[in-house]
Structure 1
Amino acid sequence: MTIQCKVKSIKPLACNTYQILLHPETPVSFKAGQYLMVVMGEKDKRPFSIASSPCRHEGELELHIGAAEHNAYALEVVEAMKLALEKDGEIVIDAPHGDAWVQEESERPLLLIAGGTGFSYVRSILDHCVAQNKENDIYLYWGARDECQLYAKDELIEIAAQNGNVHFIPVIEQKADEWQGKVGNVLQAVSEDFDSLAEYDIYIAGRFEMAGAAREQFTQNKGASSDRMFADAYAFI
């Protein structure tokens, strides 16, 4: 359904990446891992994962939008949000959408894989599971171009330190001298760390080609079950 929202705040998270808090005029009921559509025109609705979790979002919806200059699709949304904030106006969303939400009844361990701002999708799932005191092991792999793009790294390190079942593995493509973690492709990092993924529920957010490659690689080489792999991309590819 379409809902009017106030733009409560816009805050930079990293280079060309913004945290946007929306306050909908009526509460939005959603599941961890779903997304909303920002209505830019009658036939122009643009999807963004909801980064907040449904159990403790306090009525607000959080988005993480990567809006580099070459990405007009996202940049135009950020500009519309900024204008609404400045003018005390509203934007319209259509929510909720997506069927790649967390399978709460499952007792299988979770593997969360994010590329770039796809992190917002897995953040909602992670936060919801932690808030619900789920004891399943949770492995979160977050791949980015460089360390600067891992804007929630410190938060995730703290969550992992406070929850023995949460394991955070950051992966960057461009190694810096002081970087001590994994370097390269995030899917390759997962493949190197797991002999088998047969017992895992796998949640993926990133480019469509990344989600497609993950399904192919993990089902063929790691025993993953395609019906236990979840991504919004799988509704389209």
Structure 2
Amino acid sequence: MTIRCKVKSIKPLASNTFRVLLHPETPVEFEAGQYLMVVMGEKDKRPFSIASSPCRHEGELELHIGAAEENAYALEVVNRMHEALSNGSDIVIDAPHGDAALKESDRSMLLIAGGTGFSYVRSILDHCISQNINNPIYLYWGARSKSQLYAFDELTSIEEQHANIHFVPVVEDDEGIWTGKTGNVLQAVMQDFSDLSEYDIYIAGRFEMAGSAREQFIFNKKAKVEQIYSDAFAFI
């Protein structure tokens, strides 16, 4: 469904990463873990995960967009958002989309995000908290450095408040000050779990990361293909 939106705010989350709040002219019904398409042209629609929870979004849609200069695909969208915010014009979206939304299940959950893929798992996590879903939840978030883990303090606080939620940050560059896990986020998961057969696994990040995760988890950690979810699978 195509919907016109006002850009309510654009705020930096980290270097080259922005939090965008959109206010749609009509309410958008979506599931935790779905995404929307920003319409840039008649045949140019660009996907971004909805970071909002479907039960706690107050009519607004939150996006986390990583827009480094070398990523023209996302940077052009942020520039369009800034233009719309400054002149009061509309942004057009097509929503909702995605088959990798949260599934009803009694199994433990493994949420894996690379970079701004965190927006996908944030929606799922927030929905689980608001609905008092007490399944064990393990959230692994990988980034180049701690500064890119823009919700680090929020997730640390959530972990302290909820015994069933476990936050595991992983950075590629420890900068000499990081005391947590380092390296690749998938390697961290592979090291920490011996059997993923009883987990529902949700993955967001680069397409090659999602594909590699599915392959490694199935062949090495007994994960079941029907319990691994990522919208990247529709494109690879």
Instruction: Calculate the TM-score normalised by the size of structure 2.
Output: 0.99
Task: Report Cα offsets for 1:20-64 as digits up to 9, x if no partner.
Answer: 000000000000000000000000000000000000000000000
Q: Which amino acid aligns with 2:62?
A: E
Task: Give RMSD over aligned pairs.
Answer: 0.5
SS in 2 for 1:133: coil
**Counterpart in the other structure of 1:120:** 119
* Runs of 4+ that moved beyond 6 A: none
SS of the counterpart of 2:110? Answer: strand
- Map of 1:194 onto structure 2: 193
Look up the match of 1:96: 96
Partner of 1:27: 27
SS at structure 2 position matched to 1:55: coil
Please give the alpha-carbon distance, in whole angstroms, between the structure 2 residues aligned to 1:23 and 1:178.
Answer: 40
Tell me the percent identity. Answer: 72
Q: Which amino acid aligns with 1:32?
A: A
After TM superposition, give the deviation of residue 227 of structure 1 in Å: 0.6
1:119-165 alpha-carbon deviations (Å, 9 max, x no partner)? 00000000000110001000000000011100000000001111100
Could you list the per-position Cα deviations for residues 167-208 of structure 1 after superposition, in whole angstroms to 9, with x for gaps in the alignment? 000000001222110000000000000011010000000000
How high is the TM-score relative to the length of structure 1? 0.99
How far apart, in 1, do the equivalents of 2:181 and 2:227 lie? 26
Q: Which secondary structure does the structure 2 equivalent of 1:32 belong to? A: coil
2:155 maps to which residue?
156
Aligned partners of 1:136 and 1:41: how far apart in 2?
A: 42
Give 1:65's aligned residue.
65
Q: Which residue of 2 aligns with 1:177?
A: 176
Q: Mind listing any 5+ residue stretches in structure 2 that lack a counterpart?
A: none
Distance in 1 of aligned mates of 2:72 and 2:213:
27
**For the residues of structure 2 that align with 1:58 and 1:162, how far apart are their CA atoms?**
23
Cα distance in 2 for partners of 1:137, 1:180 equals 24
